[in-house]
Amino acid sequence: MVSDVFKGFRKAKEISVSFLFTPYAKLIFYLNGVKFASNLTVHGFMKVIVTRRGNVIIGKNVVVNSGHNHNIIGRQQKTILWVEGLLTIGDNVGMSSTAIICNHSISIGNNVTIGGNSVIYDTDFHSLNPEIRINKAIDKLNAKSGKVTINDNVFIGAHSTILKGVTIGENSVVGACSVVTKDIPNNEIWAGNPAQFIKSLSI
């Protein structure tokens, strides 16, 4: 009996708070200059930082899960968009507890699913030269960047890392916990650290 009351209270609380998430996200997007289309749905509170040089364009029917109460698969965090370059997200994209750090250019196509706790980086963040890294003022300027392109219908498994300069081809699948360091062709499954070819898909 007590358990039923507790569960009912918990559900009522979740429902009452859930109405705030999408309007709050839209407000944060608006204040950051993010262009977004219709039917945006956000569960949880996001962290969004778009610099003066940054631009973000988000397509239709995008669904975002953010935080430990949404898509509970472990290692949850807020979904984070930090953009100093150009980030484009297509239609029908879903992501959960995802961190996208766009220093240069990241393009995500249509019908893409990004599993929980995955991260996408288009920069090394730091120089590989230890002498340069000592000088914080020039360290970031010497970090290598490269456009990330994730094409239509890609599925990225949970806890994966997509690194700078890679292209993931249409319909391809990235296995959970993979680190993608080079291009993945269309219609293939890759997995591992670093991610390697597993098999072709029959499309």
Question: Where in the sequence numbering do the catalytic residues fall?
Answer: 126
Show the tokens assigned to 25. 């996200």
CB 90 within 8 A of CB 152: yes
Helices and strands (DSSP H and E) totals, the chain: 3, 20
Cβ–Cβ < 8 Å for 143, 164: no
Side by side, the strands of the sheet bearing 155-156 are 41-43, 63-65, 94-96, 113-114, 155-156, 173-174, 188-191, 196-200
Strands (E), 84-131: 86-89, 94-96, 99-102, 105-108, 113-114, 119-121
DSSP string, 24-76: HHHHHHHHTT-EE-S--EEES--EEEE-TT-EEEE-SS-EEE-STTSS-SSS-
Residues 147, 98: Cα–Cα separation, whole Å: 18
